[in-house]
């Protein structure tokens, strides 16, 4: 039984598959966003990562515009823009442009980490000295740039001013939870890859929340890895693509998304198995009924307003089927 039936959204890293191309990954992202819209998902977010051969969403704002142009109603946004990599004015102008092109459909989710390695971070920033510690100041600057136009301001964003794009704070620790609460902003926890502090973070966010001009009560989004199929056995098999990808992340061997591999978890040692299971502790894998029970369990624990799904399935058609089964699981009483 649902504590509170969640809304569904999707986060896409636009994976490049083994044997596939970047262009194919981008086309699959469009098809997936269109399917999410058909299923009634609230939003479709894209994540900023750099220097990773298996992820094609590095130019996040460009891709948001492309997908918004290929859909009609679903909100499209960033989950997130890694703010240390960018000057707030550049972000405001890019998202201000998107908001003018697709009014009422653009979200700006912000992350505090660089989303890449040190060398790539330096290549992105050049001689800028931005760090994660500058995050609160940069968030405040973005709020100003996207808020009411100020004729007296020395610097304004055009486009950007008066667009009032919804800003979300994203995080996998307690820091962004506190900042989102203090600013009265919606909060998304990255439990799809770092679930350790999930319950502590959302409890802190709700406890410290201060109403603001944009939000009168807390709003929590929780990341959930999902692989759904007609049977538990098939879903477990398809989920081995995600398990292989996670092992690559943990061992520093990032590559393209691999096809599923029968018995993968039995091929690796107990330490690697435990690390993968910790990474994917919030995952929901199985048939429609198993997925329904998994979502209900998460809701009993979190009472999230929204679940944002990550579905790493190698076959694009089976990924669409996975989302359809997940939507059916929530729709049923």
Can you give the CATH number for the domain in which 225 is found?
A: 3.20.20.30
| CA atoms within a 13 Å half-sphere pointing along the CA-CB vector of 230 | 1
Residue 1 resides in a domain: no
In sequence order, the β-bridge partners of residue 203 are none
The answer to whether 276 touches 269, Cβ cutoff 8 Å, is no
CA distances from 242 to 48, 62, 167, 225, 313 (A): 19, 26, 29, 9, 7
In sequence order, the β-bridge partners of residue 9 are 308
Residue 177 resides in a domain: yes
Cα end-to-end distance, the chain, whole Å: 7
Q: What's the predicted TM-score (pTM) here?
A: 0.94
The answer to whether 37 touches 74, Cβ cutoff 8 Å, is yes
The answer to whether 163 touches 99, Cβ cutoff 8 Å, is yes
pLDDT at res. 125: 63
Helix 316-331 to helix 288-302 angle, to the nearest 10 degrees?
60
SS3 281: coil
Residue 120 resides in a domain: yes
* Nearest CA among 186, 270, 196, 252 for reference residue 221: 186
The answer to whether 112 touches 137, Cβ cutoff 8 Å, is no
Helices (H), the chain: 22-38, 60-70, 88-101, 118-125, 135-146, 175-183, 198-208, 232-238, 240-250, 264-267, 270-279, 288-302, 316-331
The range of the structural domain enclosing residue 314 comes to: 7-331
What is the residue-level pLDDT of the chain in tens, covering all 333 positions? 567 789 999 999 999 999 999 999 999 999 999 999 999 999 999 999 888 899 999 999 999 999 999 999 999 999 999 988 899 999 999 999 999 999 999 999 999 875 555 666 666 665 555 555 789 999 999 999 999 998 888 999 999 999 999 999 999 989 999 999 999 999 999 988 888 999 999 999 999 999 999 999 999 999 999 999 999 999 999 999 999 999 999 998 889 999 999 999 999 999 999 999 999 999 999 999 999 999 999 999 999 999 999 999 999 999 999 999 999 999 987
pLDDT at res. 127: 55
Q: What angle do CA 67, 221, 290 make, to 5 degrees?
A: 95
For the chain, the domain total comes to 1
Residue 2 resides in a domain: no
Angstrom distance (rounded) from CA 249 to CA 233: 25
Torsion of the alpha carbons at 193, 197, 200 and 202, rounded to the nearest 10: -30
pLDDT at res. 225: 97
How far does Cα 156 stand from its chain's mean position? 28
* Nearest CA among 252, 237, 248 for reference residue 314: 237
pLDDT at res. 85: 87
């Amino acid at each position: 039984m649902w504590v509170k039936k969640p809304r569904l959204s999707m986060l896409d890293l636009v994976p490049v598959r083994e044997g596939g191309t970047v262009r194919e990954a981008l086309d699959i992202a469009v098809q997936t966003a269109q399917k999410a819209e058909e299923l009634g998902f609230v939003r479709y977010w894209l994540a900023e990562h750099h220097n990773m051969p298996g992820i094609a969403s590095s130019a996040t704002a460009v891709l948001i515009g492309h997908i918004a142009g290929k859909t009609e109603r679903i909100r499209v946004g960033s989950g997130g823009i890694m703010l240390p990599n960018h000057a707030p004015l550049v972000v405001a102008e890019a998202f201000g442009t998107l908001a003018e092109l697709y009014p009422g459909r653009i979200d700006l989710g912000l992350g505090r980490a660089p989303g890449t390695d040190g060398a790539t971070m330096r290549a992105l920033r050049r001689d800028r000295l931005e760090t994660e510690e500058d995050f609160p100041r940069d968030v405040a600057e973005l709020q100003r740039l996207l808020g009411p136009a100020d004729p007296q301001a020395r610097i304004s964003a055009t486009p950007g001013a008066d667009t009032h794009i919804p800003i979300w704070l994203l995080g996998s620790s307690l820091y962004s939870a506190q900042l989102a609460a203090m600013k009265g902003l919606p909060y998304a926890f990255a439990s799809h890859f770092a679930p350790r502090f999930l319950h502590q973070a959302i409890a802190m966010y709700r406890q410290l929340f201060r109403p603001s001009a944009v939000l009168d009560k807390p709003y929590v989004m929780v990341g959930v890895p999902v692989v759904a199929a007609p049977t538990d056995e098939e879903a477990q098999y398809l989920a081995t693509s995600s398990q292989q990808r996670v092992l690559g992340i943990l061992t520093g061997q990032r590559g393209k998304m691999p096809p599923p591999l029968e018995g993968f978890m039995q091929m690796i040692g107990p330490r690697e198995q435990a690390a993968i299971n910790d990474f994917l502790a919030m995952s929901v894998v199985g048939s429609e009924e198993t997925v329904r029970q998994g979502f209900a369990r998460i809701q009993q624990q979190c009472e999230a307003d929204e679940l944002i799904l990550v579905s790493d399935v190698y076959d694009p058609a089976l990924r669409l089927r996975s989302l359809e089964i997940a939507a059916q699981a929530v729709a049923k009483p």
